[in-house]
Amino acid sequence: MSGNTSRWIALLAWIAVIFLFSTDSFSSSGTSRIIVPALQFLFPSLSPEQLHIAHVICRKAGHVLEYFVLGVLAWRAIRSVPMGWFAPELLTVALVLVVAFSDEFHQSFVPSRTSALADIGYDFIGGMTGILLLRLRNGTRTLYSHSVL
């Protein structure tokens, strides 16, 4: 399997993981069974209200992290294909936003989940951070060359 193909397979697999995270299993009540006990162990003096806030922060950080990975994987896959005049970074940002919007749309049909535009903002921040870090890592040569990581 070529390097280009494996990059696209990794990207598609990660998009599938993101949609898996949008199911009942990863609802707030589902993740609270794991995250809250871990927080109680790490920070035994937290009040129930503080635990709730910390749980929400962990969930929002999860959005940023999963879309950071999406941004990195998308950038690597898209950069592996010659684009001509079109900036691959724009396609990567577009893909991150399409996945984020469709993920929230999907969640609107899951009874235990809520759909929130703010979550798209967290997703966008994560995706952009991944893209920007790769650009910084590779320097200005990434604007015109097709070498990646």
Q: Is residue 78 part of a domain?
A: yes
Environment class of residue 105 by beta-carbon count within 10 Å: exposed (0-12), middle (13-18) or buried (19+)? exposed
Q: 107: Cβ–Cβ under 8 A, 6 or more apart, which residues?
A: 22, 113, 114, 115
The per-residue pLDDT for 110 is 87
Distances (CA, A) of 92 to 36, 57, 71, 138: 34, 26, 7, 16
What sign does the dihedral 7-8-13-17 (CA atoms) show? positive
- Residues 119-138: tens digit of each pLDDT: 999 999 999 999 999 888 87
Pure H helices in 45-116 = 48-79, 88-107
Residue 140 pLDDT greater than 70, yes or no: no
CA atoms within 13 A on the CB side of 71: 24
- Residues 80-112: tens digit of each pLDDT: 887 766 778 889 999 999 999 999 999 989 888
CA pair distance 76, 79, nearest whole angstrom: 5
CA pair distance 135, 96, nearest whole angstrom: 16
Q: Is residue 9 part of a domain?
A: yes
Q: Is residue 149 part of a domain?
A: no
The per-residue pLDDT for 121 is 95
Q: Is residue 148 part of a domain?
A: no
Q: Is residue 8 part of a domain?
A: yes
* pLDDT: which is higher, 79 or 142: 79
The per-residue pLDDT for 85 is 67
Q: Is residue 14 part of a domain?
A: yes
The per-residue pLDDT for 97 is 97
- Residues 5-64: tens digit of each pLDDT: 999 999 999 999 999 998 877 878 788 889 999 999 999 999 999 999 999 999 899 999
* pLDDT band at residue 75 using 50, 70 and 90 as cut-offs: very high
* pLDDT: which is higher, 148 or 136: 136
* pLDDT band at residue 113 using 50, 70 and 90 as cut-offs: confident
Task: Print the domain residue range for 70.
Answer: 3-143
Domain total in the chain = 1
